Homo-oligomer: A and B are copies of this chain.
Amino acid sequence: MDFTSDNTCGAHPKILEAIVAANSGAVPSYGEDPFSIKAAEKLTAVFEHEAAIFLVATGTAANALALGALCPPWGAVFCQENAHVSEDECGAPEMFTAGAKIVGIRGFAGKIAAADLKATLASFPSGPVKQVQPAVLSLSQLTEAGTAYTCEEIAELSSIAHQAGLKVHMDGARFANALVSQNLSPAAMSWQAGIDVLSLGATKNGALACEAVIFFDPALAQAFGFQRKRAGHTISKGRFLGAQMCAYLDGGLWLDLAQIANGHAARLAAEFAKVPGVRLPWAACANEIFAIIPRALDETLKAAGARYYDWSLRDFPENKNPPVENEVFIRLVTSFETTAADIERFIGVVRK
């Protein structure tokens, strides 16, 4: 009953098999190998768009490098105020941009509302020398609250950003979970909705350690090879990143695994809805559930061996119905390794 995160599980066996299979023989290092090249081809096909594609080993690297490619040191990156790039990467975007400002925009359930983005950009014009210059909108999909933007929402936000001269980045650490939750195509949820650069996660959804930075406009990636290298993120035996990504995509494995994780979460959420005293502050749609539960239930669950995180009140400013005394705000995350047995055991405790 480990629901702490989708990175406490291992890698999917097919990913491991691909790593083992890629092991024999000498191939060029530093990403020039056939596996990495193949991975780029597959991603191009899956996303139905030419792209400059780079593989790295961590999500923080995928985000921070992407932002470093889009934002000058005197620039501003706008994101929802609880976004991972703002709160959970120990300042990596600041480091990789050489000191840009990450500007949080308030928003309910992890999302930026179009009106709020407009208001923020209106009050933050390009030009005045005294302030950092608007450069990037970064959207998280899934959001930090486990919710997903619709394509229409992404398109509207991207359009506002583009009109103001910004580039649009998507932190897609849980891109697959968002995708299958809405039954969309990768193209629809990325470049067709205005995304310029996508950090596509694989690690949380079955890979060992693999993420892709996908530039739908390759011109934006002109210096990326140098930026990745000097950040220490050019893996020497790059074949192992390529092999992971190939296996991740092959036969739609990535979508199947996300479906499994999402399904478990839906089951949990449905059950929570029946329990008196349990509230979901916003609807769960993918593999993360945020819930406000009675402290007694929290204690019972933990005593029964359930593991999950208490969540920070800092991440909750817009909620009109916050936890009160004797309530606890928690987050549960499911993964492709979560078992039905885990779920049922957890539900069993809840029902008692």
Chain A contacts to B: CB under 8 angstroms: 2, 4-5, 7-11, 13, 16, 19-20, 22-30, 56-62, 64-65, 72-74, 87-92, 94-102, 120, 123-124, 129-133, 203-204, 208-209, 223, 225-227, 229-237, 239-240, 307, 312-314, 337
Are the C-beta atoms of A59 and B223 separated by less than 8 Å? no
Rounded to whole Å, the gap between the CB of A77 and the closest CB of chain B is 12
Verify A90–B229 contact, CB threshold 8 A. Answer: yes
Q: How far is the CB of A188 from chain B (nearest CB, A)?
A: 28
Interface centre among A9, A59, A74 (most CB of B within 10 A): A74
Contacts of A73 in B (CB 8 A): 91, 94-95, 98, 230
Interface contact B92-A101, CB-CB below 8 Å: no
User: A312, B123: Cβ atoms under 8 Å?
Assistant: yes
Tell me which of B62, B64, B229 contacts A92 (CB under 8 A): B229
Residues on B with beta carbons closer than 8 Å to the beta carbon of A16:
19-20, 23
Q: When chains A and B are docked, how far (Å) is the Cα of A16 from the Cα of B240?
A: 11
Chosen A-B contacts, 11 in total, with CB atoms closer than 8 Å, are: A7-B237, A10-B237, A57-B57, A60-B230, A61-B232, A64-B232, A90-B230, A94-B99, A94-B101, A99-B230, A123-B313
Closest B-chain residue to A30, C-beta based?
A: B129
A285 to B232 alpha-carbon distance, docked (Å):
28
A101 to chain B, nearest CB (A): 6
